[in-house]
Structure formats: structure tokens, C-alpha cells
């Protein structure tokens, strides 16, 4: 490979725009994968069109196939404000009409907020937003008698989430029946079901046996989960069985369906896929439809046609037994880091999957799943290549898991700080408390120095062979924020631990200048490698209990840093980005004109590595750029889907922005130099921006490893970008002459 300069004449006709975001509309993001699937939560088919199915993802929007799942297209990106899909329903008498309910049906710490219901009358070609009540109201399950649409059974769910816990269940939840199309509702707790005063209940699944609508089922999250049945249309209910397999981690799973031709055959979706042939008295589990199951659709005209949504995307069967796996680009990536190879690689950990390391450019044929490899760790956390040796990768996992991976040998070595498993244990009883995505930071100054965060900052200088604690507890350490999570059923899986560290960053300008943030609103700074620490939290004018989601230490001034703070679990969705230029003695909020909506909260803020004042921010549905140090922000949407942007990295050699989305995998915006050029450009003059270095690569034959996926990531365009700015809206012909390094035209 060789770095070269291109020589050519370029003639262009452009219509210039006056506002900042319009100027950058020509920029196109490219998805590179990984195309290995992700969590799906809603599925639906069409009875009279056997090849048509719909699938909804937790952060990937709505997808449609018309050829039995061979090819899929996203049909929601240009219409929906939320990519989180909780339910899909097709009106089978006229399948052009369909409804989609946004929001997640499974609750976890990083749930993506919905925005009501959408309706299409042309099979998903266009959509209309028809219903939104408020952010506090919503049901969890509903079923209708197909022969009598006035008869509806629905369940309500009382739930409370904050940064330190999830509480599923309460007396206001339960099952309701309407016999007049929803005009009036009758609570069912007086007829034998849980719910109501003195009978708290959590998440509830409901189902009607359409072949005999007098028979209905309810699966309720209780201290001992119960499966209930009625054979008289809800006049009275009786307990069939109590089985923890049917409601394992109920707040995150739990759906139910009845075979269309057999009221005794029920399907229950949870961690396992379970079937009962005798109305729930006995259960068979372990069916291979998928793992960690979230939704099911059964063709009402053919009980063998089934579609299941699960953590690996979705599966379809036409014989009721053999399932075909569907794979779509809906990966939920927690972070996105890069190395400095040529071409460079992208690293990240995928929810419900593995760690993924793959190329930004495969040098031919697109980027297939075969180009990706694991690098230790697991589905959560950070994956960061060592800047001193890109063959070494640090990778995290929930429960304090930590591994060092060697690219050359393929071996991942366990280097966790403390060998203690926290499954089922209240955080207050743990020696060290760990977040699901606890922070990892590799020093740019001291070779092999790595920092990780529990409630303390831990440091290793010998590849994790030994660890030292270099800080006191840097959280508020409130024991009331360290209790068991879950509510009716305990669910301690390190997803809701309070009083833990969430962000660690060492200044790129000074060794030992370390900024640390927690998920209970605390910011600390050490200027001497951890010998002494200063609490800066009281210097920031912000509400309590925010998660310091990201700290960006400036590359231009040692006392300057930027932080993003996430309050969405406290019911505040506003954007919070703060800046200090005096080592945290004072802070200024700089996120003022990012639109305030349910998806405005900020996950990450990044400073440009060349030009002070050029900033990039990732919110819960997009990318924002500022060229004046946060005074004004513009959303650079273009073709980026409205998925949460959890992380941004800048690859300096190629000058690319690499984005980790929580729902659509990795995206790359090639050549971000125009952002910084706009920061210093004279807006009244025609501007020709410097040309980014181009690379001559020899192409490689692509891997033959698509497997179940027919979707490939995109490679970058070959050659050099030519960027220029016109200050008015007049159509102009532009002649550009570029000379080589020796001056030859």
C-alpha cells in the first residue's frame, strides 16, 4: 500500500445552502456491520400472503420481507422518531392496514423510549402518527376475540425505574376486560387474578383461545409466577400451575399465545421457548426457535406457520418444528473504538452477542460477517485496543469480567480485578460494585497502564497481572441505592447497580490528570495519579442522580474537559453537556439548542483532535455537531437511522468519525475535515477545502462466509473527496484544478 495524491480536473454544478446542517446533507454515513442480528421484540405475518412478514427490533425499527425472509427492507427509518418497537399488528382482512406500537416491552437500564402508535394504510410504505398519551402511561399486553372485536382483554403494568434499580409490580397493575370495545373496563382481581389492593402483580401476559374464546390464559409475574385460566370468558379464573420457567426474568421477557385450532396448546416465550399440550399443566421447554424469546406470531389459518422474535433477531417455521433463522443489521453496540492499522479496525461489544473486531475497509466485496472476529469479553462493556500495541485488546463483561486478548494467538486471558460473582447478590454485599458497562481507560502516557472502575479506580501496569486501588469510593455510597433490584422477583444482574463509576478519562496532555464520573452524579479529579482527589460535583448546576455518561479531556488545554450527563432514568430527557476550563472549579452548560424531546439525552461528547471548539455529540437518536464550542448545534441526520448513538471515536490517520449505535451496528462518516473547515471558513466567500490524503489499496477477494445473512457492510469509496462551499443559493459551474506534489497539473 502507498499514500498518493490524485491529479485530475473536476467540474461540478451545485446549489449552495446557507445553513450549517443543510451544507452537510451531501455527507453519507456507511454501515459496516456486524451483520449478525440482534434483539427483536415484535413479529407479525400476513395470512393471505405467505411470503410477507414484519419484524420490529429494540433499536432497529420495523423491517419487512415479501419473499419468505430472503430479503428485508427497513420501512420505518424515514417516518418514526423512535427506533424501539414493542408491537406490530396487521389487520388480516385488509393487510394494507397495520399498526406499530413503539417502546420496549422488556425493561432494562438502557431501554429506548417509544413515541406512541403509528398506522399505515399502504402496507408500510407511509406512516401516520396517530396516538401518544404521555411518557407515564402504557399497557403491556392485549388480545381481542376475532369473532367479537368488542371483547378485549388487556394487562397493565406498574413499574418504576431509576439509575439504581428497577421495581416491577404493584397494586395498580393487573388484568382488565372490556365487553364494549374499550368503552368500559372491569378489573379481574375480584374474579380470581392477582392485582389490586393487597395483591401486587408485575408484568402480565394474556391470550385468548380463538378456537374457543371462552377459554383464556393469564401468566402473571408474582413472587411465585402463576399461570391462570378461565373457561367462562373471565367470570372466574383458577390457578393452573406455578412454574418459574414460564416467568424467568419476567420484566425482560414473557409473552404467550394459544394455537389457533387447539385451546389446550399454549406457547410461552421467556428465556426458553416452552410449549404445553394440556393447557399449562405440564410444560416442555428447550425448543430451538431461538434464545431469550420476546414475541410470537401464529398464523390464525395455519397453526404450523410461526414466527418468533428473540435475542438473535427472529426465526420462522412453516411446519411448526423446523425454524429458519433471520439475520438483520440491528446490532446494539455499546461503544466503538478503533486501532491505527491500515485500513483500521473497529471494536465493540454487542448486546446479546459477543465482542466484534472488524475492518473499516475489507478491500473488496463489502464487509461480511466472516470479516469479524471476537476479542474476549462478552456482550457488554468496552473493547479497546492498546495504542502502544494494536495486537493487544482489553475487553470487559458484566459482573466485573475483564480479559486481555492477543490478536496474534487468539487467546483471551482473564484479568478481572476481583474473583467474585455477583449474580443474585445485593450490590451492598459485594466487595466491588460493577456496572454492566463499567469503564476501562488505557493511558496514552505510561505504557501498559490501564484504569478500570468499580466504586473505586483500579490501576494495572502489568497487563492485569496485578491491580492496585488508587482512589477512595468516588460515589455517594448510599446503601439505599445498593439494594436488590427487580421488585416482585429479584433481578441482580449488574444492570441497575447504583453507586458505581461510569466514566474514567486521563488527560492526553498530562500523565496522572484523571477525571472520573459516577452514575449517581459525582465528578472527581486527581492531578497527581490518584494520591489526592477533588470532588467537583457541587460546582455543576444540574439535578441530582445523573449518570456521567462520558468525560472528554481536552487535547488543547489541561484544565478543559467536557462531560455528558444522562438523566433519562430519572424522567428527565433534556440534553446535558457541560464544559470546564479551570479544572472543574466552574462549569458551563453548552447543550442549549439541541432540541428538547424524549430522545434528547446525551450519551457521548467528543472534541475534534485538530480544531478547538469543534464538538461532536451522540444523543438517543442521532449525531449533533458544533463548530463554535457548543453555542450552536446542528443535527447531521442524512442517512443515519434514528438509533441511539452510544459512542463516537475519531480515527485520526483517516480522519473518520466512527459511531457505535445501539440498534443498527457501526457507522462511519468518512472524512470529517469539512466540519473543522467550516469552523474557520469565511462564510461570504467560495471556499475550497484541503483535500484529504487518499490511499492506493490492492483489492482482495472477499470472504465466502455470508451464511444466513445476505446483508453486507459498505466499504468506503475509492479516491479523494473534494469539498467546497458556496456562500449563496446561486447555481454555479465550478472548475477545480488539482496539482501533484511536484506541481504538475
Q: Roughly how many angstroms between the first and final C-alpha of the chain, as a whole number?
A: 24
- What integer is the mean pLDDT of 569-583? 96
Q: Characterize the bridge pairing of strands 273-276 and 266-269.
A: antiparallel
Give the separation between CA 399 and CA 365, rounded to whole angstroms. 39
SS3 call for 680: helix
How crowded is residue 549: how many other Cβ atoms within 10 Å of its Cβ?
Answer: 24
- The CA R_g of the chain, rounded to the nearest whole Å, is 27
Q: Tell whether the model's pLDDT for residue 163 goes beyond 80.
A: yes
Helix runs in 189-346, H state only: none
- What integer is the mean pLDDT of 700-716? 72
Cα dihedral across residues 444, 445, 448, 454: positive or negative: negative
150 in any annotated domain = yes
Phi and psi for 159 in degrees, rounded to 5? -150, 145
Q: Tell whether the model's pLDDT for residue 50 goes beyond 50.
A: yes
The pLDDT-based confidence of 10 (bands split at 50, 70, 90) is very low
- What integer is the mean pLDDT of 437-441? 97
Average pLDDT, the chain: 89
The pLDDT of residue 172: 86
The residue segments making up the domain with residue 223 are 138-287
The pLDDT of residue 382: 97
The pLDDT of residue 738: 55
The residue ranking higher by pLDDT, 274 or 20, is: 274
Phi and psi for 537 in degrees, rounded to 5? -60, -40
**Among the listed ranges 164-173, 309-318, 402-411, which one has the minimum average pLDDT value?**
164-173
295 in any annotated domain = no
Structural contact between residues 358 and 33, judged by C-beta atoms closer than 8 angstroms:
yes
Most confident of 17-21, 391-395, 693-697: 391-395
DSSP 620: T
What percent of the chain is modeled with pLDDT above 70?
91
| CA distance readout (Å), 613 to 560, 595, 600, 674 | 11, 20, 21, 14
The pLDDT-based confidence of 465 (bands split at 50, 70, 90) is very high
The pLDDT of residue 131: 54
- What integer is the mean pLDDT of 496-511? 93
Q: Characterize the bridge pairing of strands 645-651 and 656-661.
A: antiparallel
- The reply to whether omega before 34 is within 30° of 0 (cis) is yes
The pLDDT of residue 523: 98
390 in any annotated domain = no
Phi and psi for 177 in degrees, rounded to 5? -125, 135
229 in any annotated domain = yes
The pLDDT of residue 176: 92
Give the separation between CA 294 and CA 43, rounded to whole angstroms. 9
Q: What residues does 725 pair with on adjacent strands?
A: 687
DSSP 26: G
The pLDDT-based confidence of 289 (bands split at 50, 70, 90) is confident
Q: Which of 702, 666, 670, 717 is CA-nearest to residue 33?
A: 666
The pLDDT of residue 20: 59
Taking CA 31 as the corner, what is the angle to CA 555 and CA 644, rounded to the nearest 5 degrees?
A: 65
CATH number at residue 274: 2.130.10.10
- What integer is the mean pLDDT of 226-235? 97
SS3 call for 662: strand
Structural contact between residues 119 and 136, judged by C-beta atoms closer than 8 angstroms:
no
The pLDDT of residue 369: 86
Strand arrangement, sheet containing 117-120: 85-90, 98-102, 117-120, 128-131
- What integer is the mean pLDDT of 290-303? 91
280 in any annotated domain = yes
Give the separation between CA 482 and CA 426, rounded to whole angstroms. 6
How would you classify residue 233: left for phi > 0, otherwise alpha for psi between -120 and 50, otherwise beta? left
The pLDDT-based confidence of 444 (bands split at 50, 70, 90) is very high
Q: Tell whether the model's pLDDT for residue 559 goes beyond 70.
A: yes
| CA distance readout (Å), 356 to 28, 399, 438 | 23, 20, 18
Give the separation between CA 100 and CA 87, rounded to whole angstroms. 6
Give the separation between CA 46 and CA 44, rounded to whole angstroms. 7
With cell 454555479, the residue in question is 732
Q: What is the pLDDT of residues 653-688, one digit of tens each?
A: 999 999 999 999 999 999 999 888 877 776 677 777
pTM score, whole prediction? 0.92
Q: What is the pLDDT of residues 100-157, one digit of tens each?
A: 888 877 777 777 777 778 899 999 999 888 855 445 445 788 899 988 989 999 998 8
208 in any annotated domain = yes
The pLDDT of residue 687: 74
Helix H or strand E encompassing 23: helix 20-23
Take residue 658 and report the three cell numbers written for it: 466512527
**Among the listed ranges 10-14, 435-439, 531-535, which one has the minimum average pLDDT value?**
10-14
Helix H or strand E encompassing 674: helix 673-680
How crowded is residue 452: how many other Cβ atoms within 10 Å of its Cβ?
Answer: 28
What percent of the chain is modeled with pLDDT above 90?
66
Take residue 274 and report the three cell numbers written for it: 416452552
How many helices (H) and strands (E) are present in the chain, helices listed first?
2, 59
CA quadruple 380, 382, 383, 387: dihedral, nearest 10: 180
Q: What is the pLDDT of residues 65-94, one digit of tens each?
A: 999 988 899 999 998 888 889 889 999 989
Q: Tell whether the model's pLDDT for residue 708 goes beyond 90.
A: no
Give the separation between CA 452 and CA 438, rounded to whole angstroms. 7
Q: Tell whether the model's pLDDT for residue 740 goes beyond 60.
A: no
Give the separation between CA 443 and CA 71, rounded to whole angstroms. 45
Give the separation between CA 506 and CA 439, rounded to whole angstroms. 12
Q: Tell whether the model's pLDDT for residue 336 goes beyond 90.
A: yes
Q: Which of 588, 447, 434 is CA-nearest to residue 499?
A: 434
The pLDDT of residue 159: 84
The pLDDT of residue 493: 74
The pLDDT of residue 735: 59
Give the separation between CA 194 and CA 201, rounded to whole angstroms. 6
The pLDDT of residue 138: 59
Q: Tell whether the model's pLDDT for residue 561 goes beyond 70.
A: yes
Q: Which of 373, 467, 372 is CA-nearest to residue 416?
A: 467
SS3 call for 25: helix
Give the separation between CA 273 and CA 289, rounded to whole angstroms. 7
The pLDDT of residue 462: 95
Take residue 91 and report the three cell numbers written for it: 389487520
Q: What is the pLDDT of residues 86-108, one digit of tens each?
A: 889 999 989 999 988 888 777 77
- What integer is the mean pLDDT of 687-691? 79
Take residue 664 and report the three cell numbers written for it: 443498527
Give the separation between CA 162 and CA 139, rounded to whole angstroms. 20
Give the separation between CA 297 and CA 44, rounded to whole angstroms. 5
Take residue 665 and report the three cell numbers written for it: 451496528
The pLDDT-based confidence of 7 (bands split at 50, 70, 90) is very low
- 419 CB contacts (<8 Å, ≥6 apart)? none
| CA distance readout (Å), 10 to 51, 95, 503, 731, 738 | 47, 50, 46, 16, 9
- What integer is the mean pLDDT of 371-387? 95
- What integer is the mean pLDDT of 618-623? 95
Phi and psi for 22 in degrees, rounded to 5? -65, -35
646 in any annotated domain = no
- What integer is the mean pLDDT of 588-606? 94
The pLDDT of residue 11: 28
**CA–centroid distance for 415 within its chain:** 27
How crowded is residue 346: how many other Cβ atoms within 10 Å of its Cβ?
Answer: 32
Q: Tell whether the model's pLDDT for residue 393 goes beyond 70.
A: yes
- What integer is the mean pLDDT of 287-306? 89
Q: What residues does 309 pair with on adjacent strands?
A: 295, 314
Q: Tell whether the model's pLDDT for residue 17 goes beyond 60.
A: no
The pLDDT-based confidence of 1 (bands split at 50, 70, 90) is very low
Take residue 158 and report the three cell numbers written for it: 406498574
- What integer is the mean pLDDT of 617-625? 96
SS3 call for 486: strand
The pLDDT of residue 38: 87
- What integer is the mean pLDDT of 36-54? 92
The pLDDT-based confidence of 335 (bands split at 50, 70, 90) is very high
- What integer is the mean pLDDT of 271-293? 88
Q: Tell whether the model's pLDDT for residue 477 goes beyond 70.
A: yes
Structural contact between residues 665 and 313, judged by C-beta atoms closer than 8 angstroms:
no
356 in any annotated domain = no
Helix H or strand E encompassing 639: none
How would you classify residue 121: left for phi > 0, otherwise alpha for psi between -120 and 50, otherwise beta? alpha
Structural contact between residues 217 and 281, judged by C-beta atoms closer than 8 angstroms:
no
How would you classify residue 583: left for phi > 0, otherwise alpha for psi between -120 and 50, otherwise beta? left
Number of domains in the chain: 1
The pLDDT of residue 115: 77
- What integer is the mean pLDDT of 452-468? 97
Give the separation between CA 642 and CA 71, rounded to whole angstroms. 22
The residue ranking higher by pLDDT, 112 or 461, is: 461
Q: Tell whether the model's pLDDT for residue 502 goes beyond 80.
A: yes
CA quadruple 476, 478, 481, 484: dihedral, nearest 10: 130
Q: Which of 697, 675, 671, 686 is CA-nearest to residue 616?
A: 675
Q: What is the pLDDT of residues 506-531, one digit of tens each?
A: 999 999 999 999 999 999 999 999 99
Amino acid at each position: 500500500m502507498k499514500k498518493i495524491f490524485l491529479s485530475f480536473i473536476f467540474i461540478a454544478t451545485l446549489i449552495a445552502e446557507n445553513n450549517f446542517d443543510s451544507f452537510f446533507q451531501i455527507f453519507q454515513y456507511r454501515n459496516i456491520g456486524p451483520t449478525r442480528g440482534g434483539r427483536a421484540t415484535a413479529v407479525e405475518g400476513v395470512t393471505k400472503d405467505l411470503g410477507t412478514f414484519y419484524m420490529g427490533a429494540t433499536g432497529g425499527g420495523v423491517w419487512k420481507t415479501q419473499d419468505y425472509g430472503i430479503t428485508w427492507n427497513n420501512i420505518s427509518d424515514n417516518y418514526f422518531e423512535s427506533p424501539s418497537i414493542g408491537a406490530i399488528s396487521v389487520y388480516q382482512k385488509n393487510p394494507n392496514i397495520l399498526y406499530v406500537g413503539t417502546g420496549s416491552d422488556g425493561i432494562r437500564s438502557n431501554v429506548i423510549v417509544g413515541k406512541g402508535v403509528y398506522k399505515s394504510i399502504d402496507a408500510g410504505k407511509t406512516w401516520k402518527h396517530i396516538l401518544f398519551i404521555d411518557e407515564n402511561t402504557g399497557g403491556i399486553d392485549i388480545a381481542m376475540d376475532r369473532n367479537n372485536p368488542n371483547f378485549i382483554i388487556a394487562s397493565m403494568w406498574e413499574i418504576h425505574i431509576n439509575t439504581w434499580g428497577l421495581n416491577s409490580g404493584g397494586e395498580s397493575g393487573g388484568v382488565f376486560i372490556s365487553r364494549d370495545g374499550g368503552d368500559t373496563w372491569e378489573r379481574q382481581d375480584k374474579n380470581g387474578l392477582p392485582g389490586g389492593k393487597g395483591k401486587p402483580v408485575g408484568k402480565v401476559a394474556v391470550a385468548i383461545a380463538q378456537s374457543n374464546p371462552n377459554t383464556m390464559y393469564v401468566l402473571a409475574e408474582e413472587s411465585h409466577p402463576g399461570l391462570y385460566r378461565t373457561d367462562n370468558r373471565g367470570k372466574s379464573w383458577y390457578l393452573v400451575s406455578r412454574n418459574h420457567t414460564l416467568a424467568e426474568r419476567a420484566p425482560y421477557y414473557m409473552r404467550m399465545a394459544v394455537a389457533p385450532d387447539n385451546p389446550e396448546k399454549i406457547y410461552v416465550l421467556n428465556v426458553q421457548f416452552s410449549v404445553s399440550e394440556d393447557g399449562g399443566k405440564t410444560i416442555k421447554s428447550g425448543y430451538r426457535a431461538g434464545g431469550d424469546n420476546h414475541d410470537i406470531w401464529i398464523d390464525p389459518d395455519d397453526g404450523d406457520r410461526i414466527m418468533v422474535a428473540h435475542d438473535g433477531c427472529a426465526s420462522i417455521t412453516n411446519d411448526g418444528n423446523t425454524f429458519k433463522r433471520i439475520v438483520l443489521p440491528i446490532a446494539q453496540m455499546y461503544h466503538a473504538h478503533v486501532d491505527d492499522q491500515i485500513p483500521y479496525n473497529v471494536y465493540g461489544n454487542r448486546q446479546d452477542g459477543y465482542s466484534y473486531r472488524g475492518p473499516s475497509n475489507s478491500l473488496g466485496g463489502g464487509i461480511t460477517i466472516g470479516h469479524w472476529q471476537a476479542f474476549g469479553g462478552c456482550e457488554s462493556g468496552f473493547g479497546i485496543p492498546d495504542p502502544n500495541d494494536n495486537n493487544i485488546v482489553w475487553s470487559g463483561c458484566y459482573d466485573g469480567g475483564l480479559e486481555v486478548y492477543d490478536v496474534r494467538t487468539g487467546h483471551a486471558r482473564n484479568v478481572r480485578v476481583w474473583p467474585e460473582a455477583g449474580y443474585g447478590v445485593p450490590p451492598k454485599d459485594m466487595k466491588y460494585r460493577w456496572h454492566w458497562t463499567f469503564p476501562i481507560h488505557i493511558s496514552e502516557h505510561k505504557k501498559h497502564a490501564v484504569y478500570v472502575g468499580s466504586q473505586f479506580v483500579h490501576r494495572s501496569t502489568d497487563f492485569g497481572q496485578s491491580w492496585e486501588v488508587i482512589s477512595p469510593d468516588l460515589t455517594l455510597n448510599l446503601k439505599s441505592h445498593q439494594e436488590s433490584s427487580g421488585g416482585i422477583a429479584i433481578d441482580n444482574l449488574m444492570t441497575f447497580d447504583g453507586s458505581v463509576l461510569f466514566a474514567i478519562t486521563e488527560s492526553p496532555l498530562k500523565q496522572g490528570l484523571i477525571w472520573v464520573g459516577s452514575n449517581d452524579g459525582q465528578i472527581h479529579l486527581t492531578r497527581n495519579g490518584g494520591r489526592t482527589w477533588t470532588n467537583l460535583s457541587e460546582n455543576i448546576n444540574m439535578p441530582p442522580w445523573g449518570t456521567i455518561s462520558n468525560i472528554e479531556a481536552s487535547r488543547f488545554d489541561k484544565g478543559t474537559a467536557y462531560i455528558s450527563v444522562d438523566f433519562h432514568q430519572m424522567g428527565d430527557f433534556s440534553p446535558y453537556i457541560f464544559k470546564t476550563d479551570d479544572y472543574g472549579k466552574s462549569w458551563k452548560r453548552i447543550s442549549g439548542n439541541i432540541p428538547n424531546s424524549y430522545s434528547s439525552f446525551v450519551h457521548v461528547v467528543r472534541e475534534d483532535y485538530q480544531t478547538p471548539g469543534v464538538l461532536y455529540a451522540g444523543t438517543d437518536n442521532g449525531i449533533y455537531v458544533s463548530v463554535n464550542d457548543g453555542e450552536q448545534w446542528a443535527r447531521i441526520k442524512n442517512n443515519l437511522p434514528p438509533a441511539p448513538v452510544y459512542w463516537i471515536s475519531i480515527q485520526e490517520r483517516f480522519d473518520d468519525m466512527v459511531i457505535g449505535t445501539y440498534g443498527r451496528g457501526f457507522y462511519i462518516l468518512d472524512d470529517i475535515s469539512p466540519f473543522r473547515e467550516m469552523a474557520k471558513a469565511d462564510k461570504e466567500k467560495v471556499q475550497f477545502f484541503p483535500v484529504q490524503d487518499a490511499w492506493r489499496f490492492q483489492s482482495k477477494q472477499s470472504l465466502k462466509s455470508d451464511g444466513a445473512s445476505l446483508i453486507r457492510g459498505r466499504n468506503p469509496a475509492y479516491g479523494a473527496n473534494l469539498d467546497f462551499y458556496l456562500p449563496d443559493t446561486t447555481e454555479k459551474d465550478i472548475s477545480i484544478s488539482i496539482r501533484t506534489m511536484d506541481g504538475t497539473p
